[in-house]
Amino acid sequence: MQPLEASLRDYLHTHSNSVVRIRKPVGIRDIGALSAQTDDPILFENIIEAPDFRVADILVKNRENQARALGVSREDYLRTLAHRLRLPPRPPVKVAGGPVKEVRWLGVDADLTRLPIPFHKEGDTRPYITLANIIRDPETGFLNSNHAGTTVTGRHSGAISFATPHSVRIMNKYRQMGETKMPIVMMGGVPPAYEIMANYSGLHLDVWGEFDMIGTIMDRDIEVTDAETVPLPVPTQAEVIIEGYVHFADQTVGAVTSPSMYHIPQYEHVPTLEVTAITMREDRPIYRNHQTCPATDHQTLPRLCHEAVLYNRLSEMGLAVKDVRFPTWGAALSCIIQFDYRHDGFVNDALMMVMGAPWINTKLVVAVSPDTNLDDPADVYHAIATRCDPERDTFVVPRTRGSLYDPSATPLPDEFYPFRTVGKMGIDATIKARHDRNDFKRAWPINWGNVKLSDFL
């Protein structure tokens, strides 16, 4: 097996047959709408406002591309990620310099408005950064990663929103130590496996940081070197790096681009980002945008490690798990679990386990059998309509932690803004052990899947 590519540009080159290359001139305001129309990686090579840059997006929207990111087949993807997340960390290798240092914008040159940062939704008046970042836990020293959406508010400033509990906890540690700011670097254009790992969320706080596991899930060493202006390492193979400090006291009102594809929460009080340096490759660096709406990497990327963790938990129950999926069309609020089971009782336990997951993305959990096609929302809907007796095969748990991005969830009192409560629903849409299995055999035409209409046109 070939080792995974070290850089995003090499990765896109290897998979160039599936990359949608846009050579016609595109304005920065159209990048979002164009990106969201593809399921495969898209590369803008001619950006009117920033001819020295390229922009890439949609790296991990579907299973095909998620599997490529790990260098395995589609069939092996989920169990490979699940397995690698159980392995020990493989911390990055420290080296001197690297491609991302070829160009250095320091001081007044470190100007965000020179980067091709897209707008995300109608009504946005300012560009929005969606890069994965690196921060350091000041207590353990581990490097934590997440995506903190950042509205560009000036040449050297942003309004930065930390949504993950772990990054909020780290920020509070700095505050308790009497610090007023926290160093941060943002990674613009790294191989997609970096970003899959950056979105890990779960038990690891005192054992490793996400950044120490990137080498593990890529099954290869990754290299870092010192940042220019902050005490953090940066990946040498990145396309662009933004360095700076998060200032806690300097709160501002930031916008939200929710994975549920709405505008809620309508506002947030967030800290300020001060940009101190921007470094990049010399040859047309590829800025990584992840468009946040409608169905894009924004629904899948933060939940790929969730899927692998749930795969491990369901397997521990003795289930032969075929897939676990937070589909883009579930708006980051719904999870589909797919497995065969030996006898009655397994499905409800599996549903409860997923509904009780650490994250707030499992409001609606649907269990299906291995013959349901998870790439086709209509097939999942068909399974719900035909394999679920609502009287026996659904259950509701009232008043659980709701998503702040779910407009149907009940807002908590002001002191807890923007958090909400919500009920959760488990739906058993599997082939029923209580009936003759032959009742559930789907009817298909002769030669279905073999004769193609396109061959007869």
Q: If binding is defined by CB under 5 A, does position 144 make contact with Mn ion?
A: yes
- Taking the complex as a whole, the smallest distance from the CB of residue 91 to Mn ion amounts, in Å, to 15
Structure tokens at 19: 């990359």
Alpha helix (H) residue ranges in 249-393: 297-300, 304-316, 346-355, 377-387, 390-393
What are the two backbone dihedrals, phi and then psi, of residue 289, each rounded to the nearest 5 degrees?
Answer: -100, 140
Report yes or no: 40 and 20 within 8 Å, Cβ to Cβ.
yes
Residue from 9, 61, 120, 166 touching Mn ion (CB under 5 A): that is 166
- Taking the complex as a whole, the smallest distance from the CB of residue 210 to Mn ion amounts, in Å, to 5
Tell me which residue of 190, 183, 70 sits closest to 131, measured CA to CA. 190
Tell me which residue of 105, 101, 116, 111 sits closest to 25, measured CA to CA. 116
What residues between 39 and 68 interact with Mn ion by CB under 5 A? Answer: none
> Rounded to 5 degrees, what angle do the CA atoms 9, 13, 18 make?
120
Q: If binding is defined by CB under 5 A, does position 298 make contact with Mn ion?
A: no
Q: CA–CA separation, 222 vs 208, rounded Å?
A: 16
- Rank residues 101 and 166 by Cβ distance to Mn ion and give the closer one: 166
- Rank residues 118 and 183 by Cβ distance to Mn ion and give the closer one: 183
Q: CA–CA separation, 161 vs 136, rounded Å?
A: 17
- Taking the complex as a whole, the smallest distance from the CB of residue 132 to Mn ion amounts, in Å, to 12
- Rank residues 35 and 199 by Cβ distance to Mn ion and give the closer one: 199
Provide the 8-state DSSP code for 156.
T
Q: If binding is defined by CB under 5 A, does position 306 make contact with Mn ion?
A: no
Report yes or no: 440 and 387 within 8 Å, Cβ to Cβ.
yes
- Rank residues 8 and 305 by Cβ distance to Mn ion and give the closer one: 305
Using CB under 5 A, count the residues that bind Mn ion: 2
By CB atoms closer than 10 A (0-12, 13-18, 19+), residue 390 is exposed
Residue tagged 């509701």 (tokens) = 396
- Rank residues 198 and 222 by Cβ distance to Mn ion and give the closer one: 198
- Rank residues 68 and 166 by Cβ distance to Mn ion and give the closer one: 166
What residues between 253 and 272 interact with Mn ion by CB under 5 A? Answer: none
Q: CA–CA separation, 116 vs 127, rounded Å?
A: 9
- Taking the complex as a whole, the smallest distance from the CB of residue 445 to Mn ion amounts, in Å, to 50
Q: Which range of residues in 139-147, 360-368, 374-382, 407-415 is near Mn ion by CB under 5 A? A: 139-147
- Rank residues 201 and 260 by Cβ distance to Mn ion and give the closer one: 201
What element of type H or E holds 14?
helix 8-14
Instruction: Tell me which residue has its CB nearest to Mn ion.
Output: 166
Q: What is the dihedral of CA 240, 241, 247, 251, to 10 degrees?
A: 20
- Taking the complex as a whole, the smallest distance from the CB of residue 271 to Mn ion amounts, in Å, to 18
- Taking the complex as a whole, the smallest distance from the CB of residue 287 to Mn ion amounts, in Å, to 25
- Taking the complex as a whole, the smallest distance from the CB of residue 167 to Mn ion amounts, in Å, to 7
- Taking the complex as a whole, the smallest distance from the CB of residue 172 to Mn ion amounts, in Å, to 14
- Rank residues 144 and 229 by Cβ distance to Mn ion and give the closer one: 144
The sheet with strand 223-226 has its strands ordered as 93-94, 223-226, 233-235
SS3 letters across 211-251: HHHHHHHHCCCCEEEECCCCCCEEECCCCEEEEEEEEEEEE
- Rank residues 144 and 338 by Cβ distance to Mn ion and give the closer one: 144
Report yes or no: 450 and 457 within 8 Å, Cβ to Cβ.
no
Residue tagged 């009655």 (tokens) = 344
- Rank residues 166 and 322 by Cβ distance to Mn ion and give the closer one: 166
Q: Which range of residues in 132-140, 161-169, 339-347, 400-408 is near Mn ion by CB under 5 A? A: 161-169
- Taking the complex as a whole, the smallest distance from the CB of residue 315 to Mn ion amounts, in Å, to 23
- Taking the complex as a whole, the smallest distance from the CB of residue 144 to Mn ion amounts, in Å, to 4
Instruction: List, in sequence order, every residue forming a beta bridge with 4; answer none if it has no partner.
Output: none
Q: Which range of residues in 142-150, 190-198, 245-253, 445-453 is near Mn ion by CB under 5 A? A: 142-150
3-class secondary structure, 187: strand
- Rank residues 162 and 341 by Cβ distance to Mn ion and give the closer one: 162
**Which residues contact Mn ion by CB under 5 A?**
144, 166
